[in-house]
Structure 1
Amino acid sequence: MDAYDVVVIGGGPAGYVAAIRAAQLGFKTACVDAFERGGKASLGGTCLNVGCIPSKAMLDSSERFEMINHEAAEHGIQVDGARVDLTKMLGRKEAVVDKLTGGVAFLFRKNKVTSIHGLGRLVRQDGEGWIVDAAGTEVRAKNVVVATGSSPRELPLAPFGGHIVENSGALAFEQVPARLGVIGAGVIGVELGSVWRRLGAQVTILEALPGFLMAADDAVSKEALKQFQKQGLEFHFGVQIKDVKQDEAGVTVIYEEKGSDVTAQFDKLIVSIGRVPHTKGLGAEAVGLELDERGFVKVDGHYRTNLPGLYAIGDVVGGAMLAHKAEEEGVAVAELLAGQAGHVNYDVVPWVIYTSPEIAWAGLTEKQAKDKGFKVKAGQFPFSANGRALGHGDPRGFVKVVADAETDKILGVHMIGPNVSELIGETVAIMEFGGSAEDLARTVHAHPTLSEVVKEAALAADKRALHM
């Protein structure tokens, strides 16, 4: 029986990073992962294979098509007859995925991580640690890290299959649907809806909650809804799905809105109503692994489960279902196993929505800060007053800095606009070190850059913005 210091079950962002970091720290490490794409083993989990990476490739391709058709003329560029070659576009997406998943396999070889393709299952504990069934062969592990991730939540009225798809199916349509329905106005629903809207679909998004992006700052969510409606996305909030039926032609959805039943016909329907922890086949019940009422693995502040030598990280433990949060937990758990001070500061984990305009935030919204009892000051600065944004041709949106009025400490930063997925990193670094709005305002930013909007928003928190 092969023996390891660490066996990681799951090869997504949490699992593969944990395995690499454990190996770097000198542990003999194996990673057991069952994910397949195209009938072949493919490391990287949902994120690299059918989530974060392929969706961003499609978002970029669709944005280029939109630019050619609707924005190039403003730059003095005349283009006639632009059309979508969907087969080639999807092929490019797959090539990007292949490169990155292959990169994880290379990193495993480089760091001497043993990669085992197949299901990983907890079998039993004994005096020397854990016995794990790794794709049908038992291996021994001093420590096991569960990183099995999550799966799309099904709507009971609309099980996946046929014309009803989750995120992976929505990235593989063989033709652009004329009428696309999306149930769920969260990150995935809005991103994927945006892709197909730009490529020519009429997109209708149905959301059970009464408002849009209710986790975001109010100013950002209002601006985002305005921008997306302007682009042609149709939203319906506070709806209740009453029936979903599909036939060869498409999908019929009956939903209640404002007390009346509405019938909508779609060629394809994306269901994006959240994700559930993936513990099927793990053997949790057999070994006594404690789960919470929603099926997430219970852990303490050091990712320890109720069983000695058994840890869990990533989506399977709940919290923000973000790849970068999962990666940081992978690093933290490996370092804790090595006796180091592994830690993740969940208060400054950034959120990003890769729409156009992009949306990003970290920390508290203005309302959350006030609800927590802070005396708040806030500064906001628009991209429309920024030279680089105007030259780029995308002056939509703004940056908002929320700070403690008494100490000046930054409590949250909220952005909507061009490339804010990149701009949020600067503010996260400032917040990680407990920085103030003054720290951000006094930092020299290159001119002309989009990042100057961040500086100006920090200045605006003290009502001294220079260019507004």
Structure 2
Amino acid sequence: MVVGEITEDKDIVVIGGGPGGYHAAIRAASLGRQVTLIEREDVGGTCLNKGCIPSKVFTHFAQEFKKTKHLKEMGMEFGEVVANLSSLQNYKNKKITQLRAGVESLCKASKVEIVKGSASFLSESRIGVENGHEFSLFNFKQAIVATGGELQYPDGIEFDSDRVLKEKEIFQLEEIPEELIIYGNDYISLEVATIFSILGSRVTLILNGEFPFDSAISKELFRQLKKQKVNVIKNSTLQAASQAEAKVTVSMDKGNGEIVSIEGSYFVASGKVKPNLSDIGLDRLRVELTEEDYIRTDGEGRTSIPNIWAIGDVTEGPSLAVKAIKQGKVAAEAMAGLQVEVDLQFVPTVVQMSPPIACAGLTEEEARRAGYSVTVSENPVRGNGYAQLTDEKDGFVKVVSDSETDLILGIHMMGMGAAELITSGVLGLEMAARDEDFRFPLYPHPSMNESLLEAVEGLKGDAVHMPPRKEELAR
């Protein structure tokens, strides 16, 4: 440090302005703390600027594009419908700008100071922030690490071309790929596959593992992908992906030593998230890490250093904004002395594909392994009157319960409205609801909500719109 450098005193510093970071900053400010939010790029982080919001613009566009056939059938008259990705990019960028400005406005209204630059710990109470040729020093009372994750990809992929893409880059395209090859088995791979199959691409999805869903969801998912003419290649390991002129060649190992190559016009790979901790100076501190190099935290988000907290992708658990947001609020409240904690048992998993998937709680397989006496019920969406009139008949609701106690253990959905309806499932799971707790309330009619009700009623064979169960043969 140069003699004479000025060090500013801060109360709380939050490193990273993504969903977790800015929620933590605003909540802490609302509790009377003075907060400095440090972000090296744009407030909103990867989620708002490159990930969640851009991808959901595309999923929404594809879902609306898919509806045009049904709307014409109903009598809505319009000319030829064309998917113009150039216009879609303008819309996407406009919405990102608006949302980012909204977050910045909220920070300003809450008197959260936003500092631009890259932060690095110098000690357990001091941090340096570099922004170009400028360097600032802050002494802090408490700090929250919310630097997010960085994506790692398989070896052999040549990303130095305009047709071999990382998952976030696919949402920058201004043309619809004629042939799109996707590598991955996570939610973003599924969303990309259904988006571009709806928009007219010939899509090949190379799975690098099993789908992370209940077996019934996975089975229906394969059926839906086949229905949408997505070519699925299972049990394959990527060897190489490279571009030559206007074609991409992808080589993969089928598992028996057989190397197979396919060609397409574009290739996109989904990476695995690893904590972004490489350049924030943690090696200077006594912060305890897990075996997977995540920051170890307690239920409040506190690290092994009492005045330093960590949230989001730098901690263990699913790499989801919903986790980071909850952790951010809890950390801010814990700093204020409130009795709070984070419980990730019922984190909802949502895939905004067509049709959407939403799940919470135990799968049937997990429940059986845990030793429960498992009863399941599946209610097909096609039996729902509202699904019929909106022509959203694909999917089902599956409920997993313990037959000895009637405790609901898991809820798994595929179908339009699943992302919204899963909130009822999460609330029930958190309250340790039994089937009677789901059956007792009145559900709006007609609505997709009734599919959840009938799935629960089906646990006892009482659902009206489901055929009676076949009696098991006596043994």
Shift of 1:233: 1.2
Tell me the equivalent position of 2:213: 216
Tell me the equivalent position of 1:34: 40
Tell me the equivalent position of 2:127: 131
1:244 paired with 2:241, answer yes
CA displacement, residues 265-313 of structure 1 (integer Å, 9 cap, x when unaligned): 1222111032111113211113343333433222233322222311111
Tell me the equivalent position of 1:170: 170
Tell me the equivalent position of 1:156: 155
Tell me the equivalent position of 2:119: 120
CA displacement, residues 406-445 of structure 1 (integer Å, 9 cap, x when unaligned): 2212111000011100000011111111111110111110
SS in structure 1 of the partner of residue 279 of structure 2 = coil
Shift of 1:250: 3.1
Tell me the equivalent position of 1:301: 299
**For the residues of structure 1 that align with 2:267 and 2:408, how far apart are their CA atoms?**
41
Aligned partner of 2:340 among 339, 342, 347: 342
Amino acid at match of 2:165: V
Moved more, 354-363 or 266-275: 266-275
Kept in 1: contact 2:394–2:415 (CA 8 A) = yes
Shift of 1:66: 2.4
**For the residues of structure 1 that align with 2:181 and 2:151, how far apart are their CA atoms?**
17
1:14 paired with 2:20, answer yes
Tell me the equivalent position of 2:352: 354
SS in structure 1 of the partner of residue 462 of structure 2 = coil
Q: Cα distance 1:132–1:299, how it changes in 2: closer, same or farther (>3 A)?
A: farther
CA displacement, residues 249-269 of structure 1 (integer Å, 9 cap, x when unaligned): 232111122533211112221
SS in structure 2 of the partner of residue 138 of structure 1 = strand
Kept in 2: contact 1:143–1:310 (CA 8 A) = yes
Tell me the equivalent position of 1:87: 86
Moved more, 86-95 or 260-269: 260-269
SS in structure 2 of the partner of residue 422 of structure 1 = helix
Shift of 1:32: 0.4
Identity rate, percent: 33
Kept in 1: contact 2:205–2:233 (CA 8 A) = yes
Q: Aligned runs of 1:275-290 on 2, under 5 Å?
A: 275-290=273-288
Tell me the equivalent position of 1:312: 310
Shift of 1:7: 0.5
Shift of 1:241: 1.6
CA displacement, residues 346-381 of structure 1 (integer Å, 9 cap, x when unaligned): 111111000011000100011101110111122221
**For the residues of structure 2 that align with 1:294 and 1:253, how far apart are their CA atoms?**
30
**For the residues of structure 1 that align with 2:193 and 2:99, how far apart are their CA atoms?**
25
Shift of 1:71: 3.1
**For the residues of structure 1 that align with 2:306 and 2:344, how far apart are their CA atoms?**
25
**For the residues of structure 1 that align with 2:250 and 2:107, how far apart are their CA atoms?**
46
Aligned partner of 1:3 among 9, 26, 31: 9
**For the residues of structure 1 that align with 2:456 and 2:309, how far apart are their CA atoms?**
40
Shift of 1:80: 4.3
Kept in 2: contact 1:304–1:312 (CA 8 A) = yes
**For the residues of structure 2 that align with 1:156 and 1:286, how far apart are their CA atoms?**
31
SS in structure 1 of the partner of residue 460 of structure 2 = coil
**For the residues of structure 2 that align with 1:296 and 1:246, how far apart are their CA atoms?**
35
TM-score of the pair, normalised by structure 1: 0.94
Kept in 1: contact 2:375–2:459 (CA 8 A) = yes
Q: State the superposition RMSD in angstroms.
A: 1.6
Kept in 2: contact 1:116–1:134 (CA 8 A) = no
SS in structure 2 of the partner of residue 238 of structure 1 = coil
Amino acid at match of 1:131: I
**For the residues of structure 2 that align with 1:262 and 1:80, how far apart are their CA atoms?**
43
Tell me the equivalent position of 1:38: none
SS in structure 2 of the partner of residue 124 of structure 1 = coil
1:199 paired with 2:199, answer yes
SS in structure 1 of the partner of residue 345 of structure 2 = helix
Amino acid at match of 2:150: S
CA displacement, residues 175-233 of structure 1 (integer Å, 9 cap, x when unaligned): 11111111102111111222222222111111122x4x2x2111111111101221011
Amino acid at match of 1:121: S
Q: Aligned runs of 1:344-383 on 2, under 5 Å?
A: 344-383=342-381
Q: Cα distance 1:296–1:248, how it changes in 2: closer, same or farther (>3 A)?
A: farther
Tell me the equivalent position of 1:39: none
Shift of 1:151: 1.8
Shift of 1:79: 4.6
Shift of 1:3: 2.0
**For the residues of structure 2 that align with 1:184 and 1:258, how far apart are their CA atoms?**
16
**For the residues of structure 1 that align with 2:294 and 2:247, how far apart are their CA atoms?**
35
Aligned partner of 1:386 among 363, 384, 387: 384
**For the residues of structure 1 that align with 2:291 and 2:166, how far apart are their CA atoms?**
24
SS in structure 1 of the partner of residue 294 of structure 2 = coil
Shift of 1:134: 5.8
Kept in 2: contact 1:401–1:437 (CA 8 A) = no
SS in structure 2 of the partner of residue 285 of structure 1 = helix
Amino acid at match of 1:446: P
SS in structure 2 of the partner of residue 465 of structure 1 = coil
Shift of 1:87: 1.0
**For the residues of structure 2 that align with 1:431 and 1:140, how far apart are their CA atoms?**
43
Is there any run of 5+ residues in structure 2 with no aligned partner, and where?
A: 1-6, 467-475
Kept in 2: contact 1:54–1:171 (CA 8 A) = yes
Q: Cα distance 1:304–1:439, how it changes in 2: closer, same or farther (>3 A)?
A: same
Kept in 2: contact 1:86–1:174 (CA 8 A) = yes
Amino acid at match of 1:424: I
Kept in 2: contact 1:132–1:141 (CA 8 A) = no
**For the residues of structure 2 that align with 1:201 and 1:385, how far apart are their CA atoms?**
31
Kept in 2: contact 1:130–1:144 (CA 8 A) = no
SS in structure 2 of the partner of residue 308 of structure 1 = coil
**For the residues of structure 2 that align with 1:369 and 1:184, how far apart are their CA atoms?**
26
CA displacement, residues 11-69 of structure 1 (integer Å, 9 cap, x when unaligned): 1111111111111111110110112xxxxxx211111111111111111112222222x
Is there any run of 5+ residues in structure 1 with no aligned partner, and where?
A: 36-41
Shift of 1:340: 0.8
Amino acid at match of 1:160: F
**For the residues of structure 2 that align with 1:320 and 1:113, how far apart are their CA atoms?**
28
Tell me the equivalent position of 2:3: none
**For the residues of structure 2 that align with 1:361 and 1:197, how far apart are their CA atoms?**
24
**For the residues of structure 2 that align with 1:248 and 1:293, how far apart are their CA atoms?**
43
